[in-house]
Amino acid sequence: MIEALSYEFMQNALLAGLLVSFIAGIMGSLIVVNRMVFLAGGIAHAAYGGIGIALFTGIPIFLGTSIFAVIAAIFMAMVTLKQKENSDIFIGLIWAVGMALGIIFVDLTPGYNVDLMSYLFGSILAVSRDDIIFMAVLLCIILLVLFFWYRELLAISYDSEYAALSGINVKFFYTLLLILSALAVVIAIKVVGLILVIALLTIPIYIAQNITHSLLSMMFTSGLIAWVFTLVGLWFSYTYDLTSGACIILVAGLSLLLFMGVKALR
């Protein structure tokens, strides 16, 4: 393992793991406490539409996917704010239509030979310097949002009705939350893939929820836990030549089982 650290791809992978873990920890916490896990899953799958369109038009995949995911997120925000009762149906619809769009565009792309699996299951070992810059910028944006608006985000997450009474613009912050979630999902796709992204956005958070007393500490504890999962998963992936995304998620899943077992015994 030590000699692996001298490879640039490994250094990039470790750096990406660190950045993505904290992005997932912070945004995952907000997603979980706002009960938006299904919504985040919808965005993750709809994002595949963005991958297809980016491949077809030749724009950078990260950029194309991000734009598409943000549009999907804004659309979902409008729908869920307007039609609370039917929001599940619309999320399912965006989920499926986004994926279908992606598949059609990939079909239409001439000379297509991109490794689809890397989007479905992630490829942290193929992270580039540009990807890392993108991740670092997103983490900075998220930290800035927290710095300025933590109080507002906490209020809308805990009790949006009361937040509205306190004069907080609930719609704005809800939409902001969804846009940042969409970007976090796109980033996490790079590491664990769009099929597995939900696990990274929920498992560390569930564990952190049980051992923290504030949303802020939950965010950073989740980030730390996700980072440990990423490192251990990466080690398994490298040592036994297995798919990295799946390794990370399995490590997370087994840790969760262990955690629940210990919790039940106590």
Q: How far is the CB of 257 from another protein (least distance, A)?
A: 19
Maximum CA extent, the chain: 59
Q: How far is the CB of 172 from another protein (least distance, A)?
A: 14
Residue type, 203: I
Q: How far is the CB of 142 from another protein (least distance, A)?
A: 18
- H or E stretch at 162: helix 160-165
223: left (phi over 0), alpha (psi -120 to 50) or beta: alpha
Nearer CB in complex with another protein: 39/248? 39
Are the beta carbons of 145 and 27 closer than 8 angstroms? no
Nearer CB in complex with another protein: 44/155? 155
Q: How far is the CB of 209 from another protein (least distance, A)?
A: 6
Nearer CB in complex with another protein: 164/231? 164
Nearer CB in complex with another protein: 183/215? 215
Nearer CB in complex with another protein: 7/150? 150
- CA–CA dist 160, 176 (Å, integer): 14
Q: How far is the CB of 221 from another protein (least distance, A)?
A: 9
Q: How far is the CB of 19 from another protein (least distance, A)?
A: 24
How far out from the chain centre does Cα 169 lie?
A: 25
SS3 2: coil
- CA–CA dist 235, 240 (Å, integer): 8
Are the beta carbons of 56 and 105 closer than 8 angstroms? yes
Letter string b/e over residues 230-266, b meaning 16 or more CB atoms within 10 A of that residue's CB: bbbbbebbbeeeebbbbbbbbbbeebbeebeeeeeee
Nearer CB in complex with another protein: 8/161? 161
> Applying CB under 8 A, which residues contact another protein?
33, 151-152, 154-155, 157-159, 161-168, 208-209, 212-215, 217-218
- CA–CA dist 167, 82 (Å, integer): 19
Q: How far is the CB of 263 from another protein (least distance, A)?
A: 13
